[in-house]
Structure 1
Amino acid sequence: MLTVADIMTTKVVTLNQLNTMKNAHDLSKAKGIRHLPIVNNETQELMGVVTQKAMIARVISILTQYGIDALNEQEMKTLAIDIADTEFVSVYPEQDVQEVATFFLNNKHGCLPCIDANNKLVGIISSSDFVKLSIRLLEKQA
């Protein structure tokens, strides 16, 4: 059985609860990633996930409410945790990949954080990980 641990990304780029939306925006742009888990900087427990979709929605809200001149300032005032999804579904390293893939398909998630028994982030699994797995499996068949 293939597990989440077999295909997840373990070198996860994260934020902490003190980071701002500006930090999230800059990091997302620099690293080319769409999902940024937020971990407590003291306990390393997972607190939420900031998505590209949430950042775009907040930018639109800022532009509508304050105008373009205030965008940078408002991004620096907004904590990333305030726009994060804090009611997220997570997975465990030992979970069956097929089960998680079915969940992805049925729920249209872009990523799922992978945590240990202490709610500490150990990885992240995204649609990209499933594409990589598909390529590996197709190459084995060729």
Structure 2
Amino acid sequence: MPIVAEIMTSDVVYISESANLREARSALKKLNVRHLPVVGEGGVLVGLLTQRVVLAEVIKLVDQVGVSGLEDEEKRHSVREIMQTNFQVADPSMDLKVAGQYFLDNKHSCLPVIERGQLVGILTSQDFVKLCVGLL
């Protein structure tokens, strides 16, 4: 039975909970990713940041301060303020069918992968697309 560990991204990129919105937006763009796990002290997963949430916050800030004030305002806002703290995680040994069904049922597009309390990977809907393409 195929498991999460077989297709997850194990070289996971994350951001510190002390980072600001400007750093988060820059990281998403530079790394060309849509999800950033947020880690606290000791590398413990404390949140999840998505491109959608970051863009919504940026649009809100532009409405408030205009484009010219955006950079300064982004630096004043912490990742902690907008990160999701209520999210599901996967275990590396989780059955891929179970993980895939989670994506379908919840319309989410990523699952951080945790082993012994530590972030060891991330599973995204893109990983499933890659798997399907490989099988075709």
Q: TM-score, normalised by structure 2?
A: 0.96
Cα RMSD (Å) = 0.9
Counterpart secondary structure, 1:113? strand
What are the within-5 Å matches in structure 2 for residues 121-136 of structure 1?
121-136=119-134
**2:18 matched residue in structure 1:** 18
**1:92 matched residue in structure 2:** 91
Number of residue pairs aligned between Structure 1 and Structure 2: 136
Q: Name the amino acid aligned to 2:38.
A: I
2 CA distance for matches of 1:14 and 1:74?
22
Moved segments of 4+, more than 3 Å: none
1 CA distance for matches of 2:135 and 2:27?
32
| 1:136 Cα offset (Å) | 2.0
Counterpart secondary structure, 2:129? helix
**2:38 matched residue in structure 1:** 38
* Unmatched 5+ stretches in structure 1: none
- Sequence identity, in percent? 39
* Unmatched 5+ stretches in structure 2: none
1 CA distance for matches of 2:112 and 2:91?
8
| 1:81 Cα offset (Å) | 2.0
**1:70 matched residue in structure 2:** 69
Q: TM-score, normalised by structure 1?
A: 0.92
2 CA distance for matches of 1:22 and 1:110?
23
2 CA distance for matches of 1:108 and 1:134?
18
